[in-house]
Structure 1
Amino acid sequence: MPELMVNDYDRAKQFYRDVLGFALCFERTEDRFGYFDRGGAQIMLLERPHGSAALPPVTDSRLHFQIEVDQLEPLLDRLAGAGHCLHKPPYTARYRGNDCVYVQREFFVRDLDGYLLRFFQHQAEEPLV
Structure 2
Amino acid sequence: MEWNPLVPELVVNSYAASKKFYIEVFGFRLLFERLEDNFGYFDINGAQVMLLQTPGAELYQIDRPGPNGKGLHFQVVLESIAELLARLQAASIVLASPITEEWYRAADIAHGQREFFVADPDGYLYRFFEYIGERAA
| TM-score (norm. length: structure 1) | 0.92
User: SS of the residue aligned with 1:42?
Assistant: strand
Query: SS state of the match for residue 83, structure 1?
Result: coil
Gaps of 5+ in 2: 1-6
CA distance 1:83–1:9, shift in 2 (3 Å): same
Per-residue displacement from partner, 1:65-97 (whole Å, max 9, x unpaired)? 000000011100000100111000210001001
Give the direction of change, closer, same or farther, for the CA distance of 1:64–1:29 in structure 2 (3 Å limit): same
Q: Does residue 1:58 correspond to 2:64, yes or no?
A: no
Q: Secondary structure at the match of 1:15?
A: helix
How far residue 62 of structure 1 moved from its aligned partner, in angstroms, is: 2.2
State the Cα RMSD in Å: 1.9
Shift of 1:51: 9.0
Gaps (5+ residues) in structure 1? Answer: none
Q: Aligned residues: percent identity?
A: 46
Match for 1:77: what amino acid? Answer: A
Matches within 5 A, 1:75-86: 75-86=84-95
The structural deviation recorded for 1:60 is 6.1
- Shift in Å at residue 98 of structure 1? 1.8
Query: How far off is 1:99 after superposition?
Result: 2.5
Which of 10, 32, 44 lines up with 2:16 in the alignment? 10
| Aligned-pair CA distance for 1:48 | 2.3
Superposed CA deviations along residues 10-55 of structure 1, whole A, max 9, x for unmatched, are 0000000010000000000000000000010000000021797973
TM-aligned CA distance change 1:21 to 1:60, over 3 Å: closer
**Residues in 2 aligned to 1:27 and 1:14: alpha-carbon distance in whole angstroms:** 13
Q: Which piece of structure 1 moves more, 13-22 or 41-50?
A: 41-50
Q: Which runs of 4+ in 1 moved over 6 A?
A: 50-54
Corresponding residue for 2:130? 121
- Which letter maps to 1:96? R
Q: How many residues align?
A: 128
User: Structure 1 pair 82/4, CA: closer, same or farther in 2 (3 Å)?
Assistant: same
**1:38-77 correspondence to structure 2 within 5 Å:** 38-49=44-55, 55-56=63-64, 58=67, 61-77=70-86
Deviation at 1:127, TM superposition (A): 1.2
SS at structure 1 position matched to 2:111: strand
Q: TM-score, normalised by structure 2?
A: 0.87
